[in-house]
Amino acid sequence: MSRTPLDPVLEPLVEGLDVRSARRVHGGDIAVSYRLETADGPLFAKTHPRPTPDLFEREAAGLRALREHAPAPLRVPQVLRESPHGLVLEWIEEGRRRGGRTESELGAGLAGLHRTSNPTFGGLDGDVSGYLGSVEVDLTPSTDWPSFYVHRRVAPLVERAIREGSLDPRARGLLERVEPRAAEICGPAEPPALVHGDLWGGNRLVDADGTNWLIDPACHWGHREYDLAMMQLFGGFGPECFEAYDEASPLDAGWRQRVSWYQVTPLLVHAILFGGGYGDAALRALARYA
């Protein structure tokens, strides 16, 4: 049977999968995404002709970690193929949420995922670097979360954003004022949790059965409030989700006061990648704690 010619970047990734055709679909700002029609059903693929080093390999490792530890009914797509230029995953047939039930199941499932722990904060399997979007971040392991968050995450992103002209240099002075209070601002000490790392509304899918799926992770061992803060940056998650999370794994009473603090890093990443008003939003967040 004849098949549609494939993109040259996609061709070696899907060799042997009996792909009959590939159709471009929505799938993020960094990679090119496809629905692959195969003899055994549809698959999802994403590629990039010139990716940053280990971008897809790290994403694959994060998906495997989430898939291993996410409790039912929370689901994560299986990685079928990976290469330096892309991934092939199982296809998720998107559907509609079942109201509060879908939200509650996500909250309870995420709480269960976050109970997966590790001796240190930082990268999976000892990795010392990773990505938020396509921005490289330092994941050198540490036993001290406030130090990790300030020195491995916020400070380098502040410097890069200032250097690239997407953040007011006043942010440097604000961070200097915040740093001595980092232990207080980061909240009560908690064990490292396996976090998704980039959990905005677009990285949560709901399938035709109303089941929640997590995609496009930036997994690392971090503070669980980091995921919860990211979930509130652009919306897309109902109150039932956070209520179910708190019921399954109670949060410190002050966690909502730390949401803006943990939103600083995704705001900085967005400032670096997209410019616009993200730099000003990051500056306001820093000023709130300074």
Per the CB < 8 A criterion, the answer to whether 216 and 78 are in contact is no
CA dihedral 137, 81, 115, 188 (to 10 degrees): 10
Give the bridge partners for 90, in sequence order: 43
* CA–CA dist 58, 112 (Å, integer): 23
Which of the residues 198, 216, 227, 280 is marked catalytic? 198
The one-letter code for the residue type at 59 is E
Lookup: tokens for 136? 């490289």
Rg (CA), the chain: 19
Q: How many CB atoms lie within 10 A of CB 35?
A: 15
Q: Is 198 a catalytic residue?
A: yes
- Residue in 45, 39, 2, 48 with CA at minimum distance from that of residue 17: 39
Residues catalogued as catalytic: 198
